[in-house]
Amino acid sequence: MPRAPSLPPVSIPARGPIRVLFSCVGRRVELVRAFRAAGKRLGRRVETWGTDRTWLAPAMHQVDQAALLPNVTNRSYSARLLDLVEKRRIHLLVPLIDSELLLLARVRDRFLALGCLPLISSPRVVGICRDKLLSYMHLKKHDVDTPKTLTFSDLRRWRRPRFPLYVKPRAGSAARGHYLCEDRKELNFYAQRVPDPIIQEYVRGDEYSLDIYAGFDGRVRCVVPRLRLEVRGGEVSKGRTVKDRSIMAVGRRVVESLAGCIGVITIQCIRTPDRRIRVIEINPRFGGGNPLSIRAGADFPYWILRALCGREPAIRLDGFRDRLDMLRYDESVFCPAPRRR
């Protein structure tokens, strides 16, 4: 497999805090805490920063410093983020939502020039992962088992499609706009309500999320499959680590085929009753259920911070605890309401 070029090293002072910025931090309280805890194990203080478009994002009240930024669709978004990185001397940028990834990947060199390592895969990789039709074409090219995926216009030429079929946005995320269609009437109805829809073969079986860590040189270092026991609002609410070598091999193969992944990549796949492993989605960022993998021993924040300090960690591909369950519950954040102007 081709190897991604290494990212240039970022100079981290031997003393003082390591400043980590989580963009679009939203509800990622557990991830913020995991980076703080990793800093303690490393013997360094981690100063956490967060950005979001609203103060109503819970994690904005859990970071050490927070800053409001416009929506990622705003033309000034990347410039404002770059300005914040420069002024606050941020060492590490961790983007957390799909819609900002391609925008930031295209200016990755500008972050590096400011002494900040952006934990973002290459623009080519992000472009493939963001577009589900391109993802399908890439997986097929590399002989990775994946459900048949078509545009709606292509499907119209398919006289006898095999239902049920899945409708989803070509560039969507968090399961928004996903519909299971039992017949052509339902298909036509939902396809008109989904922006730039694609049609995907429906696959039955157990669904897994794979948290895969690729070092700064793009080399796959660890693969953690998580069985999705329960999902709420597109995000896993109950999960279990499963040390399944066949699933791990598929995940590793996908990331290596992309040749440009950096940091944590989240892959969705389904293991069918006849044991086929079918990849359905690739997200080049921290997934929402990632705290389970971290607690199971795949300490991504520690590995990232250690490598950032020039001390490459020793990592086992299967170095995580098997069959650890995560059962999530709601926790409240209390903060003063903003005054009306």
| Class level of CATH domain 18-120 | alpha beta
Mean pLDDT of the chain: 93
Spans of all domains in the chain: 18-120, 126-130+204-327, 148-201
pLDDT of residue 6: 62
Model pLDDT, residue 284: 97
Confidence of residue 340 (pLDDT cuts 50, 70, 90): low
- Give the pLDDT of residue 4: 54
Average pLDDT over residues 41-52: 97
- Cα–Cα distance for residue pair 58/262, rounded to 1 Å: 27
Same fold, 126-130+204-327 and 148-201: no
Does the domain at residues 148-201 carry the CATH identifier 3.30.70.20? no
Residues with Cβ within 8 Å of 165's Cβ and at least 6 positions away in sequence, in order, are 155, 180, 181, 187, 199, 200, 201, 202
Average of per-residue pLDDT across 86-94: 98
Whether the predicted pLDDT of 341 surpasses 60: no
Task: Tell me the percentage of the chain whose pLDDT exceeds 70.
Answer: 95
Fold of 126-130+204-327: D-amino Acid Aminotransferase; Chain A, domain 1 (3.30.470)
Task: Write a three-state SS string for the chain.
Answer: CCCCCCCCCCCCCCCCCEEEEEECCCCCHHHHHHHHHHHHHHCCCEEEEEEECCCCCHHHHCCCEEEECCCCCCCCHHHHHHHHHHHHCCCEEEECCHHHHHHHHCCHHHHHHCCCEECCCCHHHHHHHHCHHHHHHHHHHCCCCCCCEEEHHHHCCCCCCCCCEEEEECCCCCCCCCEEECCHHHHHHHHCCCCCEEEEECCCCEEEEEEEEECCCCCEEEEEEEEEEEEECCEEEEEEECCCHHHHHHHHHHHHHHCCCCEEEEEEEEECCCCCEEEEEEECCCCCCHHHHHHCCCCHHHHHHHHHCCCCCCCCCCCCCCCCEEECCCCCCCCCCCCCC
What is the rounded average pLDDT of the residues 159-167?
Answer: 85
pLDDT of residue 5 exceeding 80, the answer is no
Better-scored residue on pLDDT, 187 or 300: 300
Is 7's pLDDT higher than 80?
Answer: no
Asked whether residue 160 carries a pLDDT value surpassing 90, the answer given is no
- Contacts of residue 231, Cβ cutoff 8 Å, sequence gap at least 6: 175, 237
The answer to whether residue 2 scores a pLDDT higher than 60 is no
Handedness of CA 252, 255, 256, 260 (dihedral sign): negative
At 14, the pLDDT band (50, 70, 90 cuts) reads confident
pLDDT digits (tens, 9 = 90+) for 198-245: 999 999 999 999 999 999 999 999 999 999 999 987 789 999 999 999
Encode 87-111: b = buried (16+ Cβ within 10 Å), e = exposed.
eeebbbbbbbbbbbbbbbbebbebb
| Cα distance between residue 292 and residue 208, in whole Å | 13
Give the model confidence (pLDDT) of 243-289 as tens digits: 999 999 999 999 999 999 999 999 999 999 999 999 999 999 999 99
The percentage of the chain sitting over the pLDDT mark of 90, rounded to a whole number, equals: 82
Mean pLDDT within 118-124: 96
Please state which of the ranges 40-49, 165-174, 329-338 shows the lowest mean pLDDT. Answer: 165-174
**CA-to-CA distance for 182 and 131, rounded, in angstroms?**
25
- The answer to which of 85-99, 136-150, 223-237, 313-327 has the lowest mean pLDDT is 223-237
